Amino acid sequence: MKPATAAVSIGLAAAGLSWLARAAWGVPSAVGAGRGAIRPYAAGSAHYSDRKFHNTAASSAVAAGEQASIGVAMLTRGRSGRPERPVPLATPLAPAEAGDLAVTWFGHSSVVVEIDGYRVLTDPVWSRRVSPSQVVGPARLHPVPVAAEALPQVDAIVISHDHYDHLDRDTVATLTSTQSAPFVVPVGVGAHLRRWKVPEDRIVELDWNDDVSIGSLTLTCLEARHFSGRSLVRDTTQWASWSIVGPSHRAFFGGDTGYTDAFVGIGERLGPFDVTMLPVGAYDDRWRDIHMNPEEAARAHADLQGGDPSAGVVVPVHWATFNLAFHPWSEPVERLLTAAEDARISVAVPMPGQRVDLSRTLPNRRWWSGAVS
């Protein structure tokens, strides 16, 4: 081999090793707790057996025989699922005192809910990528509207499950130092927080149908139809939806879930809800058990209202921020609006960063249209 060629080969090899080192940096910590650390907390759950959690209805994360087709689709999707132009952002406005009923959507499933003078933050993810590595993995389609350090003080931080797009180590670290609120999480998820040095007195772990009071609020851990896991080992921690009930108002946070008949019982027991925050994106027939499509989200909203779809407002989440499926970027919200009109459901679609006071006229601007045409 000629000296020049050898030098190029050595340089490329060094660059490759450098890239691999950067990609792997911090991964073991970001993955979180292992099965052994989680099991002591999970084993007492009635939904835990054979060393994992289970849905009440038979469910599969991916339909049998579809893994290969998903791989091909991932390699050939190109820019499908991405906006054509920059996604517009709103400047977050946080009043000095929390309102009676308002939501500020920061993208994906990250929301600050104001309810009866309290603030609850859901599934906070501020990192650029939803991955154990900050070099590879799904990246943001729009910037965060505000730094996590600039968030108003909240009264609770609620986590739906431990997937990377809902539980982010770096965001947890920031909130541990800038906030004093407890992390209210499903059974087993606390093990990740303990590994990341969250103080024990700020971790509240609940199983389905357990609740905790924070001031005048009651937060109830509720059934969802999904799965969990931050590595090749799945379902070692519980997944959940949540109700947030105050003296005068009720909110429901779906987190990430497929459609389930459990929504009917939740609506009968804890509804009707003034606002439901339901996932509408990242759906596909190949994993329909564990991700709702927009029409199913409209059906879930009606279930949660005791069968009256005209009660309350649905705020769509789990769309627009990360490209996790194969549908067009704005399709989830367009399909939801069509289904909602047919079912007489009120919908509020905040721009990332926008605060919506649900006691006032709901926004009707189709802000997303400018990003796709």
Per residue, the 3-state secondary structure of the chain, as one string, reads: CCHHHHHHHHHHHHHHHHHHHHHHCCHHHHHCCCHHHHHHHHCCCCCEECCEECCCCCCCCCCCCCHHHHHHHHHHCCCCCCCCCCCCCCCCCCCCCCCCEEEEEEECCEEEEEECCEEEEECCCCCCECCCCCCCCCEECCCCCCCHHHCCCCCEEECCCCCCCCCCHHHHHHHHHHCCCCEEEECCCHHHHHHCCCCHHHEEEECCCCEEEECCEEEEEECCCCCCCCCCCCCCCCCCEEEEECCCCEEEECCCCCCCCHHHHHHHHHCCCCEEEEECCCCCHHHCCCCCCHHHHHHHHHHHCCCCCCCCEEEEECCCCECCCCCCCCHHHHHHHHHHHHHCCEECCCCCCCEEECCCCCCCCCHHHHHCC
pLDDT 10s digits, 60-73: 888 766 777 777 77
Asked whether the predicted pLDDT for residue 8 surpasses 70, the reply is no
- CA dist 53 and 41 (Å) reads 12
Q: What is the chain's mean pLDDT, rounded?
A: 92
CA distance 143 to 218: 33
Range in 19-23, 73-77, 220-224, 232-236 with the lowest mean pLDDT: 19-23
Cα(335)–Cα(3) distance, integer angstroms: 61
**114-157 pLDDT, tens per residue?**
999 999 999 999 999 999 998 999 999 999 999 999 999 999 99
Task: Please give the Cα distance from 256 to 129 (Å, whole number).
Answer: 18
Domain regions of the chain by residue span: 101-371
Domain 101-371, CATH class in plain words:
alpha beta
CA distance 220 to 310: 24
How much is the pLDDT for 26?
Answer: 64
What is the Cβ-side half-sphere exposure of residue 343, based on CA atoms within 13 angstroms?
28
Confidence band of 1 (pLDDT split at 50, 70, 90): low
pLDDT above 70 coverage of the chain, percent: 91
Q: Which residue has the tokens 């429901």?
A: 252
Q: pTM for this structure?
A: 0.92
Burial of 315 per CB tally in 10 Å (0-12, 13-18, 19+)? buried
Assign 3 a pLDDT band (cuts: 50, 70, 90). low
> CA 356 to CA 349: how far, in whole Å?
9
Residue 300 in this model has a pLDDT that exceeds 70: yes
- The per-residue pLDDT for range 25-84, each reduced to its tens digit, is 468 999 999 999 999 999 999 999 999 999 999 998 887 667 777 777 766 777 889 999
